């Protein structure tokens, strides 16, 4: 190798492998959390936490209960879902300044969850109710639709309260079952429970539904509930009918349902199938099931199965040409196709659950004690709702559809420099027109944001 070529290679290597210095305490990848923390202070979250949560740490403790929970909320929004990861925030001087030095260690966070009494689970839910009431005072009255579902959270160790139940990804492994109630369209979580993995959605469902009603602000009125086949139960339907609430529920395909479908197919002139598209058709029938006290409206869905490669169906008969589903509802003013489409909107809860699990670590339960896991889950629920409140009230409309992973990428976790002092203090970012426009909008909204007097 010639000396010139060797020099050129060494010069290129130096260019791509520069020296590193670790003497800058103004650079941070968590700068924009300052706007979120400003919002929390504007809505009075520290005061709400102090009012709702009665447990007080010792008078000479460095951090109060409110300080620690507020820190955990901010860390969760930033994506630091593990306690060991949260410790990284303690070496971020800019973040520490934003939090006024109230950045506890992971041990302090764990110890708080251990020391908090069981009643704190109810008190965090009460905090969630107050946050939603603040949001309702700004947005005003509206009708809401509630989606209900549950999800499996696998455990990889010994966690108190877990059990071996249905687990599609890790069969035979212990898990928790998390029951969730979410407002459709705007995505606020009303309630979440941490239950044994053997439990199913309908177990204690009416109590869970009634608790969601209690959490809901008074000027948000339930118009409709949607639930999958796990909530298919006459007791649930009677409760909703008693409350004058519309419901759309997927039907468990019992033998009695198969008989109804056979009857419909045998009387096609009376119950004609209406084609929705090339695959789906719908019809309806009002009939009671054997154990029911009254008849209810069933919307039947027929899905055409694909043909075999030779162009022939594998077997003869309607049951091998089509796949059937059914929906039960008390709505009488919508056509069968509209009921079918309305239920399909419930699928949004699957996206919500993905956001909760992947973005807020709802499926991570690292503590051995069930109470500690439930408390941390509820704190993450509070963080999710506060971030949703911030997004809808402060962020520009064009990012409202983004999940938290995207918001971290384009906003929360963008690195910058906190420079200057006093009134000259500001954040310096690299050139980014999208972020510039977004930050200017957020700063303006924070300046003009006001709670109504009744909500303060």
Tens place of pLDDT for every residue, the chain, 456 residues? 565 666 566 665 677 888 888 888 899 999 999 999 999 999 999 999 999 999 998 888 999 999 999 999 999 999 998 888 999 999 999 999 999 999 999 999 999 999 999 999 999 999 999 999 999 999 999 999 999 999 988 888 788 888 888 888 888 888 889 999 999 999 999 999 999 989 999 999 999 999 999 999 999 999 999 999 999 999 999 999 999 999 999 999 999 999 999 999 999 899 999 999 989 999 999 999 999 999 999 999 999 888 766 555 555 555 568 899 999 999 999 999 999 999 988 877 888 888 998 999 888 888 888 999 999 999 999 999 999 999 999 999 999 999 999 999 999 999 999 988 888 889 999 999 999 999 999 999 999 998 765 454
Is 102 contained in some domain? yes
Q: Helix (H, G, I), strand (E, B), or coil: what is residue 441?
A: helix
76, 380 in Cβ contact below 8 A? Answer: yes
Q: What is the DSSP string of 87-117?
A: GGGGG-HHHHHHTTT----HHHHHHHHHHS-
Is 396 contained in some domain? yes
Q: How many CB atoms lie within 10 A of CB 16?
A: 6
Is 219 contained in some domain? no
Is 33 contained in some domain? yes
Query: Which pair of structure tokens corresponds to residue 335?
Result: 């056509």
Is 347 contained in some domain? no
Is 374 contained in some domain? yes
Residue 39: give the domain boundaries: 24-120+367-455
How many domains, the chain? Answer: 1
Is 201 contained in some domain? no
Query: Radius of gyration (Cα) for the chain, nearest Å?
Result: 27
What pLDDT shows up at residue 413? Answer: 95
Q: Helix (H, G, I), strand (E, B), or coil: what is residue 158?
A: coil
What pLDDT shows up at residue 456? Answer: 46
What pLDDT shows up at residue 160? Answer: 87
What pLDDT shows up at residue 12? Answer: 59
What pLDDT shows up at residue 8? Answer: 61
181, 208 in Cβ contact below 8 A? Answer: yes
> pLDDT, tens digit, for every residue of 378-404?
999 999 999 999 999 999 999 999 999
């Amino acid at each position: 190798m010639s000396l010139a070529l060797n020099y050129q290679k060494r010069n290129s290597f130096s260019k791509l492998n520069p020296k590193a210095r670790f003497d800058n305490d103004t650079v941070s990848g968590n700068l924009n959390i300052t706007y979120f923390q400003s919002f929390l202070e504007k809505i009075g979250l520290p005061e709400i936490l102090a009012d709702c949560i009665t447990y007080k740490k010792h008078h000479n403790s460095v951090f109060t209960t409110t300080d620690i929970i507020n820190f955990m909320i901010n860390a969760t929004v930033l994506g630091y879902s593990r306690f060991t990861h949260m410790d990284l925030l303690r070496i971020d001087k800019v973040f520490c300044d934003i939090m006024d030095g109230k950045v506890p260690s992971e041990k302090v966070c764990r110890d708080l969850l251990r020391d908090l009494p069981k009643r704190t689970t109810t008190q965090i839910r009460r905090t969630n109710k107050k946050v939603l009431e603040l949001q309702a005072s700004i947005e005003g009255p509206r009708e809401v639709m509630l989606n209900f579902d549950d999800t499996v959270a696998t455990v990889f160790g010994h966690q108190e309260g877990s059990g071996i139940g249905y687990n599609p990804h890790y069969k035979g492994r212990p898990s928790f079952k998390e029951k969730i109630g979410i407002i459709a369209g705007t995505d606020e979580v009303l309630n979440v429970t941490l239950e044994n993995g053997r439990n199913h959605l309908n177990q204690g469902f009416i109590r869970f539904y009634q608790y969601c009603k209690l959490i809901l602000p008074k000027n948000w009125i339930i118009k409709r509930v949607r639930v999958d086949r796990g909530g298919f139960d006459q007791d649930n339907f009677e409760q909703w009918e008693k409350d004058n609430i519309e419901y759309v529920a997927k039907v468990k395909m019992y033998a009695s349902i198969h008989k109804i479908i056979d009857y419909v197919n045998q009387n096609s002139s009376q119950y004609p199938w209406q084609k929705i598209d090339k695959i789906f058709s719908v019809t309806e029938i009002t009939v009671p099931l054997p154990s029911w006290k009254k008849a209810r409206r069933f919307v039947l869905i027929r899905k055409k199965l694909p043909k075999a490669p030779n162009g022939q169906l594998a077997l003869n008969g309607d049951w091998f040409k089509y796949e059937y589903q059914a929906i039960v509802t008390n709505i009488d003013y919508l056509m069968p196709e509209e009921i079918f489409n309305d239920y399909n909107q419930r699928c949004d809860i699957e996206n919500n659950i993905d956001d909760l699990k992947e973005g807020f670590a709802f499926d991570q339960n690292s503590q051995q004690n069930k109470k500690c896991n439930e408390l941390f889950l509820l704190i993450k629920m509070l963080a999710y709702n506060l971030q949703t409140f911030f997004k809808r009230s402060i962020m520009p409309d064009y990012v409202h559809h983004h999940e938290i992973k995207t918001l971290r990428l384009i906003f929360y976790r963008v690195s910058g420099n906190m420079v200057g002092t006093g009134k000259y203090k500001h954040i310096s970012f690299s050139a980014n027109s999208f972020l510039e426009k977004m930050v200017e909008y957020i700063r303006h909204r924070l300046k003009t944001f006001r709670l109504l007097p009744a909500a303060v």
